[in-house]
Amino acid sequence: METENSDRFLTAFNRIDHRLRDIVGIKDFTPFYRLVDQAKKKEVLVKKYEDDLRSYADLRNAIVHHRTSINYVIAEPHTDVVERIEYIDATLAKPMLVGQMFRKRVLVFQENDSLKHVLKVIHQRKYTQFPVYFNKQFRGLITTVGITNWLASKMGGDHLPKGIPTLHDILMHEKNRVNYKFVSRYITIYEAEEIFKQGVERGRRFEALLITEHGKPHQKLIGIITPLDIVKID
């Protein structure tokens, strides 16, 4: 039986084993299952792939402990399994950063911009989140839901309010005023995914993660991540 797949599998598995040891800071022998338990507390990617890693540990044991000869193993991994563990190995070694995947020119608005201007942007570009500044000072994040809330609150009978509202007016009608979080461009896309997830679990849903050099609000906005973007992450 050809053992190329099992050799590739074991190579990737051993690299992952060493990487988990580095994450945990352990040099002595430690069962792989225990490494996973400890490493997932420090590295979100380990937590993400925990079930896969545990399954691979069982397969690794079958390959190593039940091998009957150099050229024969009792459990030769399927190619899909090998490619998957190699993908996880590569991802753990060099995970994608948010600054790499989501860096882009972000359209920002000023507090005194009119709602009419934002509605035009919604119509043309289909945006749903709008970072708002006063000069260079960040003021908040407006969403289409916030705009709807403002309209609902201002409806007087069957008539819309007079005058042209500004984004300052709309900001006050965001249900969750802190519906954003600033993050550094150096965090991984998986850490960003975890931030969204933990926000929901704690009853604080983020509408966007705003990317700056070191996650500071006063720094230039260089990217934005929405919940829809996160859904596309493997």
Residues 85-107 have pLDDT tens digits of 999 999 999 999 999 999 999 99
What local confidence, expressed as pLDDT, does residue 71 receive?
A: 59
Q: Which of 28, 2, 32, 33 is nearest to 15 (CA)?
A: 32
Share of the chain above pLDDT 70, in %: 91
Check if the beta carbon of residue 79 is closer than 8 Å to that of residue 91: no
Residues 15 and 86 in one domain: yes
Residues 86 and 116 in one domain: no
Q: Dump pLDDT digits (tens) for 160-183.
A: 666 788 999 898 888 777 899 999
- Asked if the model's pLDDT at residue 150 lies above 90, the reply is no
Residues 102 and 89 in one domain: no
- Asked if the model's pLDDT at residue 198 lies above 90, the reply is yes
Q: Dump pLDDT digits (tens) for 37-82.
A: 999 999 999 999 999 999 999 999 888 876 555 555 567 889 999 9
Q: In angstroms, how far is CA 164 from the centroid of its own chain?
A: 37
Residues 224 and 109 in one domain: yes
Distances (CA, A) of 39 to 14, 23, 30, 94: 15, 6, 12, 16
Q: Containing domain of residue 52, as a range?
A: 3-93
Residues 68 and 12 in one domain: yes
- CA distance linking residue 120 with residue 114, whole number of Å: 10
Number of independent structural domains in the chain: 2
- Asked if the model's pLDDT at residue 21 lies above 60, the reply is yes
Last residue of a domain, one of 71, 93, 115: 93
